[in-house]
Amino acid sequence: MSTEVKVPTLGESVTEATIGEWLKQPGDAVALDEPIASLETDKVAVEVPSPVAGVMGQQVAAVGDTVNVGATIATIEAGDGKAAAPATAPAAKAEAAAPAPAATAPAPATEDSGDGVTTLSPAVRRLVLEHGLDPSRIKGTGKDGRLTKEDVLAAANAAPEAAPAAAPAPAAAPAASGAPGRREERVKMTRMRQTIAKRLKAAQETAAMLTTFNDVDMSAVMATRDKYRETFEKKHGVRLGFMSFFTKAAALAAHDIPAVNARIDGDEIVYYDYLDLSVAVSAPNGLVVPVVRNADGLSFAEIEKAIADLGKRAKDGTLTMDDMTGGTFTISNGGVFGGLMSTPIINPPQSAVLGLHRIEDRPVVRNGEIVIRPMMYLALSYDHRLIDGREAVTFLKTIKEAIEDPTRLLIDL
């Protein structure tokens, strides 16, 4: 007896997804609710759980196929996983048709020969091939022990120089001069990457986007953070970071300049009396912007916990559609990657995004004297159709004043 596995409901207005990878192969034992496949939607990767315990049967769809909500993608057969794999499924057709590779250095497989299965995403598989590593010897830090790009890069850096990476066979013989062969690789964009590209381009074409800058002296916030770091972490179980200060400052500024926390809907302006903060974080498949709900009403500890949780789940690939839905204003912290200055792009249908950057010591004038201060550039990109230049400058100035004098955050100035 077989049970069909169908594409689950993916969220409001989401009707289809792409098969990202199969987490179980035909013949593998499957437990109840154990993920068997990963689907890529426009916003997040969604794992498909098995509705019953049994043996993985036929894979009706292949990696890269687009499937609709409610469509059957696989079957689960009765058994304990010791049965032989069923007939070749569509997901394996391409491999079956491909000629056997030459007897050179073995390429990393997508499965172990033992009981465990090492499932590699296309990006991870490419890195493994480039560095000539054995994926079964690398400890994975992703969900369920899966390998991430960071795991592979760390293993490559730790590998002894005496064991050079096994290079893939070149497409053509090297030139007579002895120069190494060159090659190209075409990798299909993931559904999420395609959506990111479309949305960012649409934002540029739709909004009258403009960016204004300011800089902020981080001395007071850094001193406050250093003074209360240990006490804060002991009491709340989370580190005190800079994002909570900027979230509080943005909420304070949005009360004075409500257009920054608004959106255009046709010929109307929609104002919010709350701040749902979209936080731009890096995920394995690209940049995502999960939402901290009612951020204006949260304490410093609650903000830090919410952001830490979203960041961890983004890295693990466990964000849900609800985590990504909504958002009235965005903060993007490029400083964690060392960025000095940027012009962030608005996250539609929002009307503004605040960009944070790295902190570096710079000479500034204070009371007629040149002194060294830890400075950060701030950038506010905004839709000029809704937000005037005066409002944008005032918004940034309010944030600057609150960060340079954090007491303002406590007494609402």
388 is catalytic: yes
**Active-site pick, 309, 384, 405, 412:** 384
DSSP per residue, 208-239 = -EEEEEEEEE-HHHHHHHHHHHHHHHHHHSS-
Active site residue 151: no
Predicted confidence at residue 181, as pLDDT, reads: 80
Q: What is the pLDDT of residue 42?
A: 65
d(CA 387, CA 85): 61
Measure CA 236 to chain center.
Answer: 26
Indicate yes or no: pTM above 0.75: no
CATH 4.10.320.10 region(s) of the chain?
104-168
CATH 3.30.559.10-classified regions of the chain: 192-411
- How many other C-beta atoms are found inside a 10 Å radius of the C-beta of residue 275? 23
CATH architecture of 192-411: 2-Layer Sandwich (3.30)
List the one residue out of 81, 180, 168, 93 whose CA is nearest residue 131.
168
- pLDDT score, position 110: 43
The predicted pLDDT at position 119 comes to: 57
The C-alpha angle 50, 14, 9, rounded to 5 degrees, equals 30
- The predicted pLDDT at position 171 comes to 47
Q: How far apart are CA 92 and CA 192, in angstroms?
A: 24
Residues in the chain predicted with pLDDT less than 50, given as ranges, are: 82-118, 161-176
Instruction: Give whole-number Cα distances, 303 to 255, 291, 296, 344, in Å.
Output: 18, 11, 9, 22
- Going by CATH, does the domain composed of 1-98 fall within 2.40.50.100? yes
Q: What is the pLDDT of residue 12?
A: 60
Q: Side chain identity at 324, as an amino acid letter?
A: M
Which is nearest to 297 in space by CA: 322, 271, 277?
277
Catalytic residue among 134, 256, 322, 388: 388
One-letter amino acid for residue 70 of the chain:
G
CATH 4.10.320.10, domain 104-168, yes or no: yes
DSSP-assigned states of every residue in 88-146 = PPGGGHHHHHSPPPPSSSPPPPSS-SSSS-----HHHHHHHHHHT--GGGS---SGGG-
* Inter-residue contact 73 to 37 (CB < 8 Å): yes
| pLDDT score recorded for residue 404 | 95
